[in-house]
Amino acid sequence: MSQHTVIRRVTAPDIRAKKGGDKIVSLTCYHAHTARLVDPHMDFLLVGDSLGMVMHGLETTVPVPLDMMIMHGAAVVRGSRHALVVVDMPFGSYEESPAVAFRNAARIMKETGCGAVKLEGGARMAETVAFLTQRGIPVMAHIGLTPQSVNMMGGFKTQGRRQEEWAAIEADAAAVAEAGAFSVVLEGMAELLAAKITRAVPIPTIGIGASAECDGQILVLEDMLGLSPTVPKFVKKFAELGAAIEDAVKDYATEVRARQFPAKDHVYAMAKPADEKPRVTKMSKTKPN
């Protein structure tokens, strides 16, 4: 009987327990095939609503519907085995009331198989965070630059660069931690403020455009691979796959037009007729001398 290695998925409590310890590593992920590639190296994968911009060409994350998040979330769960999968709750799916948020979060978890959801907002969403966590739904919070509020913020603006902004953002971090969030994303935040919040709250902070002192880091996968045409200042490109893909596509087009592809190795030969199968010759019995 063959034995299969059982891989245990990382859970929300596992992430919570990393506070102040080993750095938490994460990336966004939107489909099964990239999930298979990055999963072994990640603590969690975020199915971010950034997929609306990265995968679907939207200008902001605001138009992303719940069904789109569920479709991509299910794909990432199918393509991964190890990392915790966290799915963003899109704009309009949780702000109305804690009860509406629970209904939609429960649907996300049931239809994707993910292990947690993420929602944006600090003190104003603390009641909802508590409502969800008390009913068995792990919540990752998100404060600082919250992309779903881009219309209120007047754009994607870094938060906390002025000292007078700090108190409200620190209060947001404290509120979501007290409400039961197992971690909090700090996005687009002044480095000193992010470092201070990391030292102050009892849950892990996940930085994106924040501080190296955060308990973990996350980037948009397509940004760090060099697939996005433009990236924010805080992104380091660990590869330039966009140029490599364009070169490969150019070579393909050239070979097709030159009638070099497909070559003999890339096509199928005709099957041999049944009557051309090799015949087995019976050996005649020889008489004894």
Residues tagged active-site: 187
Is residue 2 annotated as involved in ligand binding? no
DSSP 185-226: EEESB-HHHHHHHHHH-SS-EEEESS-TTSSEEEE-HHHHTT
127 appears as a binding residue in the annotation? no
Tell me: is residue 43 an annotated ligand-binding position: no
Question: Do the annotations mark residue 22 as ligand-binding?
Answer: no
49 is in an annotated binding site: yes
Residue 209 CA to residue 27 CA, distance in Å, equals: 13
Binding-site residue set for 3-methyl-2-oxobutanoate: 49-50, 88, 118
Binding-site residue set: 49-50, 88, 118, 120
Binding-site residue set for Mg(2+): 49, 88, 120
